[in-house]
Amino acid sequence: GGTGVIGLGLVYSASSAWGKLRSMPLPAFASTATPVFDAQECKRLAALDRAGVADRTLVVFTSDNGTTHEGRADPRFHVGGADPKFFGSAGGLRGYKGSVYEGGLRVPMIARWPGVTGEGLECETPVVSTDLYPTLLAAAGASLAPEIASALDGVNLRPAFEDPAASLERDSLYF
């Protein structure tokens, strides 16, 4: 077979345990849900191993934007109501979701691409979600016509996955 590409999503069953978790105060819920989420991702990775495709499958885990800010009293403006100070989810960076400061834009991304990504490597190169499209195409062994590829805002992240010190061929980031 060819190269497989999957996206990881969080899927919960409609069990009574989920209802119990969801009724907890947010800090308790988040600290309880994280190990559940981690366990689910381990099951997905194990399923790739059992299927014999883990060695040729790119797995990406990321978020869409920075941490949400504290909720406001006005219910028409609810943005999540998390406690960013408690969780430290902005990592000390200024700003929250919806701002142009790093705390509103910077999110973690974890990638596992056997034979490409090295274990425990960290890359400081700024990337953007539009980079995932050309990266996933490359992982699948697909290519675009040059006139289409040149019109994309995103770039293939493989060079940065292979060597965290590598620079990506782009003039600027668009988001």
Kindly tell me the sign of the dihedral angle through the C-alpha atoms of 151, 157, 158, 159: positive
Average pLDDT over residues 14-33: 54
d(CA 168, CA 170): 6
Name which residue leads in pLDDT, 166 or 78: 166
Average pLDDT over residues 52-80: 72
Assigned token pair, 166? 């590598």
Tens digits of residue pLDDT in 58-67: 998 887 777 7
Based on C-alpha coordinates, what's the Rg of the chain?
19
pLDDT reported for residue 3: 40
pLDDT reported for residue 139: 92
Average pLDDT over residues 94-102: 79
Q: Strands of 4-7's sheet, edge to edge?
A: 4-7, 57-62, 109-112
Confidence of residue 18 (pLDDT cuts 50, 70, 90): very low
Q: Rounded to a whole number, what is the distance in angstroms from the first to the last CA of the chain?
A: 35
Q: How far is CA 39 from CA 10, 14, 33, 42, 93, in A?
A: 11, 17, 10, 5, 29
Tens digits of residue pLDDT in 118-171: 888 888 888 888 999 999 999 999 988 999 988 888 899 999 999 999 988 888
Residue 158 Ramachandran class (φ > 0 left, ψ -120 to 50 alpha, else beta): alpha
Q: Is the pLDDT of residue 34 over 80?
A: no
pLDDT reported for residue 22: 53
Q: Is the pLDDT of residue 7 over 70?
A: no
d(CA 44, CA 27): 26
Q: Is the pLDDT of residue 51 over 90?
A: yes
H helices present in the chain, as ranges: 16-22, 26-51, 84-87, 102-105, 132-139, 146-149, 158-162
